[in-house]
Amino acid sequence: MVENLKLKSRWTVWENFVLTGAYQSDEAYKKSINKVFTFSDLNAFASMWNNLNYHKPVSTFFFDPVKKVNKKYTISPPFSEQSLTIDIFANLRFEVKDRQEMEQISTINLFRNDIAPEWADPENKNGSEYQFMLEGSDPEVIDEYWQELVLAIIGETFKLSDQVSTR
Amino acid sequence: MDKSKGDLSVRLEIWVKFDKDNDTKLALSFEEALAEFLKANESKIKVGFSKVSYKSHK
């Protein structure tokens, strides 16, 4: 049994749903973000990641390369590691398996503590962001890169990781 | 990207607590660390990534 896998920080996963229409108000944006999960140790992180299908190639989480359509999901209820019992795991798997075709997810967000994925959050409003694209034809390779980055951030092995909020 | 050819792309964003205009020294250090991380992982798993762009929240 592996113990003491506590992370330095608590992290929260959020999903954004695609907003439609030309004008996207702050209120509409707030409604489009959904808190999915909080965790502060590696066991909870790994369980959450697998059960929400984030472990599959992240590019195919958003896009079905066979049907060539954007995938849609139902909204997941928020879970925290405190609620992760065996039964809850079973329910979570069931929930994910039976997600209905409803909402197109645009973004998976990972933020420290309870920071929300919005510029107006007090922790973000004086900050900034760096963006880059991962591009290729092999979704599993893209996924490997994505997971390397996620693990570096939550493991805080990234230099200056205390400056990362992040997304 | 042309998805019909099987090409895929994912945009990654790293939100940070500082603003480049107000803390240039910290921003430079962070950019060096990020470049180092990307370079190390690029050689390891051979995937393309675009130039890093910067956006202030103000």
Map A84-132 to HEC letters: CCHHHHHHHHHHHHCCCCCEEEEEEEEEECCCCCCCCCCCCCCCEEEEE
The full set of domain ranges for chain A reads: 9-163
Return the closest-CA partner of residue B55 out of B9, B22, B20: B20
What percent of chain A has a predicted confidence (pLDDT) above 70?
71
Say what the pLDDT of residue B10 is.
Answer: 78
ipTM of the complex: 0.82
CA angle B52, B57, A126 (to 5 degrees): 115
Say what the pLDDT of residue A26 is.
Answer: 80
Residue from A163, A164, A165, A167 to probe the interface with B (highest B Cβ count within 10 Å):
A163
* Residue of chain B nearest A129, judged by CA positions: B15
Size of interface A-B (CB pairs under 8 A): 158
Say what the pLDDT of residue A93 is.
Answer: 43
Rg for chain A (alpha carbons), in Å? 16
In angstroms, rounded to a whole number, what is the distance separating the alpha carbons of residues B45 and A8? Answer: 27
**pLDDT tens-digit readout, A76-127:** 666 666 555 544 444 444 444 444 445 678 888 999 998 999 988 998 999 9
CA angle A111, A116, A122 (to 5 degrees): 110
The full set of domain ranges for chain B reads: 18-43
Domain A9-163 has CATH 3.30.760: yes
Report the gap between the CA of A90 and the closest CA in chain B (Å): 30
In angstroms, rounded to a whole number, what is the distance separating the alpha carbons of residues A40 and A61? Answer: 24
**Inter-chain touch B10–A126, beta carbons under 8 Å:** no
**Lookup: tokens for A52:** 């929400």
DSSP assigned state of B3: G
* Residue of chain B nearest A61, judged by CA positions: B10
Report the gap between the CA of B5 and the closest CA in chain A (Å): 8
Residue from B2, B3, B5, B14 to probe the interface with A (highest A Cβ count within 10 Å):
B14
B28 in contact with A at a CB cutoff of 8 Å? no
Give the pTM.
0.79
In angstroms, rounded to a whole number, what is the distance separating the alpha carbons of residues B34 and A146? Answer: 14
